[in-house]
Amino acid sequence: MRRTDEDIRLREIALGVVDGLIPLVEEGPDGRVNRPLLDALGQDLLPEIFPENVGGKLHGSVSARALCVIRECLGQHLPPAETALALQGLGGYPILLHATAAPMERWVPAVAAGRAVAGFALTEPEAGSDAAAISTSANRTDDGWVISGEKTWISNAPDADVYTVFARTGEEGSRGVSAFVVPGDSPGLTGDSLDMVAPHALGRIRLEEVTVPPDALLGEENRGFRVAMTTLDLFRPSVGAFAVGLAQAALDATLEHTASREAFGGTLGDLQAIQHGVADMAVDIETARLLVFEAADEYDNGGPDVTRLSAMAKLHATEMASRVVDKAIQFHGARALERGHLLEELYREVRAPRIYEGASEVQRTIIARELLSSERTRE
């Protein structure tokens, strides 16, 4: 794939900070927010995905392509740093794109600088893939809103300083959901962390009559599902970019291993089965990369096929990465299954992206719906 001058600049910045971030990753807590790491990301990389008017470096609005470049690079070289950056963006972007002036000014510059931690609170114990089925409620009062309910598998919970919380304010289904900015220290908000296969900062939060002011509403009342879906349309290509980075790391390790590992009178790389395998891995990675950046460009250009291409990019890239990492482990043999081996870590990292921000089955449904809708429009 041909990279633009801006792609190259961003990639060089990301590569330039990786070595300095490694000690922060190694010294940080597993499965909890790593504030020193976020503070370091706020010096160089986080500002690259936030606009100038909130303290970032982007000219204009957000850039899906910039997000993809950085996530792919960090996914390839330092996945924990990638995850920290991605969760910060996922929690902060709804506020950036939909908040009124006061919460925007309070939270977004601090999030962009890594000083405040943001979380995205959509999923519930009984409302995962069917996000429109959420039961957390937000009732209007004279002073704003009172929110009650439980959220789970939430980014940066329970340590976030601010959450984007989705709650029901109207009828059943997607048309009765609203989005709110909720400070993490709000009275009535509690939570705990979750121990995941890969040590990501995810947890549960419980809201027991949490009060927020009127300007906490993001966008329009009962249109919060649109806030969620527009955020996911932006982030799904970059999930694909993360997966591409993981797969590239697996391929790089496989090429190094098979070129030096002696077997059957030569090296593993001399065997045609291995050669064909790494060729297939490389083709799969490059096709996924092309689709990811096509979806990112469609978003940045305001194209009509953002939802379809974003779903395609996430689906194809995350499924591809699972296959590539699995094949890399097969070519390495038992050593790749040892705790602490690069591929053992990649194997745990690569599983979650096929589920979060819409499972692969959900992406297929979205793609089919968009295709059929376009066909009906032409009739």
3-state secondary structure of 136: coil
Short-list 201, 298, 196, 295, CA closest to 241? 295
Encoded amino acid at 322, one letter: S
Encoded amino acid at 326, one letter: D
For residue 237, whether the previous peptide bond is cis, meaning omega lies within 30 degrees of 0, is: no
DSSP letter, residue 232: H
Contact 132, 173 (CB under 8 A): yes
Residue 281: CA atoms inside 13 Å, Cβ hemisphere, count? 28
* Residue 136 in tokens: 């957390």
Rounded to whole angstroms, the Cα distance separating 40 from 25 reads 11
| 48 tagged catalytic | no
R_g of the chain computed on alpha carbons: 21
Rounded to whole angstroms, the Cα distance separating 121 from 104 reads 18
Q: Rounded to 5 degrees, what are φ and ψ at 83?
A: -65, -40
Choosing from 357, 361, 375, 379, which is the catalytic residue?
Answer: 357
Contact 208, 188 (CB under 8 A): yes
* Residue 202 in tokens: 């995810």
Catalytic residue annotation: 357
